[in-house]
Amino acid sequence: MGKFRIFLAAGLLLGGALSASAQDKGYWRAASSAANSITGDIAIAPTRVTINFSSFPLAEIRRLTPAEVSAVFAADINTGANGDLYRLKIPAEKRFLHHNTLCGTDETEWMATYVSGRELRVAFFSGSAAPQMTIDAMNNSSALCGVFTYSR
């Protein structure tokens, strides 16, 4: 009976970790003016992101710490919020709504997400190196392309 309890507890912890990681998955409607004028709606699947009916390969890199979420999304660090960092490749010449691009003349290579309730916030970054997600780095970042808000 003792081993069963250990396996049950481990299963519950793993299940909770997987569901926390999957919070950003699914279809989201554009909610901010930037999302409405640039990306339109977004859908996140385990290996693809779809932006305004165009799909791109996606790889989950790691979880974001509460400090990183706070730096990128101005979230309250005391809530313990986590997010996710993804690697992707969206060509600089890819046009979305109103002929807008995500990162100007640079390729979009990183995506960070943060879910709070029924709201998803997404930050896109250029550059081959993973973005540094500190308050100082975000304030001086030329790699941050934009932050967009979506809802369910």
Q: Is the pLDDT of residue 9 over 70?
A: no
**Predicted local confidence at residue 21, as pLDDT:** 53
Q: How many CB atoms neighbour CB 71 within 10 A?
A: 23
**Predicted local confidence at residue 22, as pLDDT:** 65
Q: Is the pLDDT of residue 152 over 60?
A: yes
Give which of 107, 41, 112 is closest to 74, Cα–Cα: 112
Read off the pLDDT of each residue in 125-152 and give the average, rounded to a whole number.
Answer: 94
The tokens 């979305």 sit on which residue?
Answer: 96
pLDDT in tens, 27-55: 999 999 999 999 999 999 999 999 999 99
Q: Is the pLDDT of residue 13 over 60?
A: no
Q: Left (φ > 0), alpha (ψ -120 to 50) or beta: where does 84 sit?
A: beta
pLDDT in tens, 101-134: 999 999 999 999 999 999 999 999 999 999 999 9
Instruction: Round to whole Å and give the CA distance between 74 and 70.
Output: 5
Average pLDDT along the chain: 87
Q: What is the pTM of this model?
A: 0.84
Q: Is the pLDDT of residue 12 over 90?
A: no
Strands (E), 38-143: 42-44, 48-51, 54-64, 83-90, 108-116, 119-126
Strand, coil or helix: what is 127? coil
